[in-house]
A and B are shown apart, each in its own frame.
Chain A
Amino acid sequence: MRTELYFAFRNRKVVGGFAVILAFLLLGLIAPLFTDHGPNDYVGPPAAPPSGEYWFGTTTFGQDIFLQFANGLRSTFLVGLLGGGIAAIVGMTIGFVAGYRGGIVDEALNMLTNIVLVLPALAVLIILHTYIGIKSVPAQALFIGLFSWPWVARAVRAQTLSLRSREFVDLARLSGLRPLTIIRREIAPNMSSYLLLTFILLFGGSVLFAATLDFIGLGPTESISLGLMMNNAVQWSALHLGLWWWFVPPGLGITAIVGALYVMNVGLDEVFNPKLREM
């Protein structure tokens, strides 16, 4: 663990990616505290370009874009954390059980995994969102998580399958440990680094999913998000009016966060896998 931390702090990709994410997270957490206005309040002159007072300018209705951006970051991190977390938990559970139990359980879970895998997730989410009418970010994250786990389950199953027949697992079984304990104490720690990388990828995937849904206009109705900002910008023809400060920040924010996650992922891979380390 300590060697990993040592290499993590020396890895430029990990440190750089982490710094970007931390910066956005702090911005999202802190910036909205300094104002009494909500993100959708009409506070300034309409369609004003970025200035000292309104850092990112204002919308055609006079909403402060910086404020919307900072609040949108909160939704982005929330949906990434929850959506990625739910997908990771479901995928790991199914992968562990299928890989460890084998037999008919494995067959059934594998079939389920393959079905959800080929089912185009966004199309299902569109149908679900339209009929249910998502109101909050956690609800959106729940649905995203429920449809983005299959590749995790597949990978975890494959690794569990190969770990299951190792001697130390046999030993644990002989000493009478229960299957759940074996999975938790013997199998999962052996792939903990892989699970962390998986969660990072799921986090990024959830953020992109949520942005897509918000952009179509199916996002949470009760809060602002980066995808919704882009939706508003396009809907109120910011492109034709030349209000570039309306649609550039939200997309840039998503790209920076997801890109930083990917880069951090590569860096962590180098940290955990000595073969990949640059000496």
Chain B
Amino acid sequence: MHRYFGRKSLIYLLTFIVAVTLNWLIPRFMPGDPVLRMLTRSSVSNPESLAPMREYYENVFGLDVPLWQQYLNYWSELLQGNMGISVWLFPAPVTGVILKAVPYTLALLIPSILLSWVAGNKVGALAARRKWLDNTVLPLGYVLTATPYMWLGILLAWSLGIVMGIFPIAGGYSFALRPSFTVGFIANAFTHWFLPFLSLFLVAFGGWAIGMRNLIIYELEADYANYLEALGTPRKLIRRYAFRNAMLPQLTGLALQLGVLVAGALVTEIVFAYPGLGYLILQAIQNQDFFLLQGVFLFIVIGVLLANFIIDIIYVLVDPRTRTGLQGGTA
């Protein structure tokens, strides 16, 4: 078990280092000069004032020291939680801006991931080897999992939001309200939350249902299932064993899908102008706010790594083989 966690932690640590390095590397070694672009954006006509401005920006970006020192400085700033100043919301620090948006993204992601995973597994397991249910769940699942997140979001916003007028389609809460812990505000925030949640839930649900259905069919054909059947075990019990065995690959699948799910949440937020990280990304891109964009990137990486780690812990809890150091730990 120690070996298992040690190995996993090493991978996550390396991934984090790679992500930070990429984040530092890309702006510095890509074609195009961000400082120059900012200078053009401020459109200074006087060439004499250009030089001091350039010097100022290079100083702000920390470009006036050797490369290796820039890299080390970047790390030390980062470890102190300093990711720079946002251009879009000048002069707010990037870390603060992001921390304000993170709760909204988590409020969308956590329920939609957990509920879709649980519901998808249940429905998928029910559908396996039941003709009529299978014939409805399977096509529906394929359509849902092939749907681009933003398109389902657009369709829901249009049909339930605009045509039928049941749900609001933009923002995290009504502009007339201020965030507070009152019933009115929470109810209002809930109606804003529901549609983005629903579109995330539906797309992810399709994938889990199909995955579980296929795994159950595979398990029901395994030797142990045949053996139990030959012994005259009730079908219900066999299905329960199959379900428990099929949970393990689905758990691994959850870890693998995290990146895609986060990506889905980002574009869904953009559709609904939901004030989470996806919305920040859009604003950062439109306002050329590179510090903010890079900060969001690092936050997403950290979040995905943490979630991976949590799934690893759950995996150890549900799969005894990883605890005894037998096979299965590599999954």
Does A pair with B?
A: yes
Using CB atoms and an 8 Å cutoff, list the residues of chain A in contact with chain B: 111, 114-115, 117-124, 126-128, 130-133, 151, 204, 208, 211-212, 215-218, 227, 230, 233-234, 239-240, 242, 244, 247-248, 250-252, 254-259, 261-263, 275
For residue A275, which residues in chain B have a CB less than 8 angstroms away from its CB?
A: 221
For residue B169, which residues in chain A have a CB less than 8 angstroms away from its CB?
A: 239
- Cβ contact of A131, chosen from B14, B26, B308, cutoff 8 A: B26
Assembly CA distance A131 to B32 (angstroms):
8
Chain B residue at minimum C-beta to C-beta distance from A233: B154
Instruction: Give, as a whole number of angstroms, the nearest-CB distance from A151 to chain B.
Output: 7
For residue A211, which residues in chain B have a CB less than 8 angstroms away from its CB?
A: 148, 150
Contact B31 A132 (CB under 8 A): yes
Give 27 CB contacts A-B under 8 Å: A115-B11, A115-B15, A120-B259, A120-B301, A121-B263, A122-B262, A122-B266, A123-B259, A123-B296, A123-B300, A127-B297, A131-B26, A212-B150, A212-B263, A215-B270, A216-B266, A218-B285, A230-B154, A239-B154, A239-B157, A242-B162, A248-B155, A254-B148, A255-B146, A257-B146, A262-B145, A263-B142
Contact B301 A119 (CB under 8 A): yes
B residues 250-270 with Cβ under 8 Å of A? 255-256, 258-260, 262-263, 266-267, 270
Contact A216 B285 (CB under 8 A): yes
Using CB atoms and an 8 Å cutoff, list the residues of chain B in contact with chain A: 11-12, 14-15, 18-19, 22-23, 26-27, 30-32, 34, 142-143, 145-152, 154-155, 157-158, 161-162, 169, 221, 255-256, 258-260, 262-263, 266-267, 270-271, 281-282, 285-286, 290, 293-294, 296-297, 300-301, 304-305, 308
For residue B30, which residues in chain A have a CB less than 8 angstroms away from its CB?
A: 131-132
Contact B158 A117 (CB under 8 A): no
Give me 5 other A-B pairs in contact (C-beta within 8 A), A130-B293, A230-B150, A242-B162 excluded: A122-B260, A212-B149, A216-B270, A254-B147, A255-B146
Contact A120 B155 (CB under 8 A): no
Contact A151 B256 (CB under 8 A): yes
Decide: A255 near B15, CB < 8 A? Known: A122-B259, A239-B162, A240-B162: no
For residue B15, which residues in chain A have a CB less than 8 angstroms away from its CB?
A: 114-115, 118-119
- Cβ contact of B262, chosen from A117, A120, A258, cutoff 8 A: A120
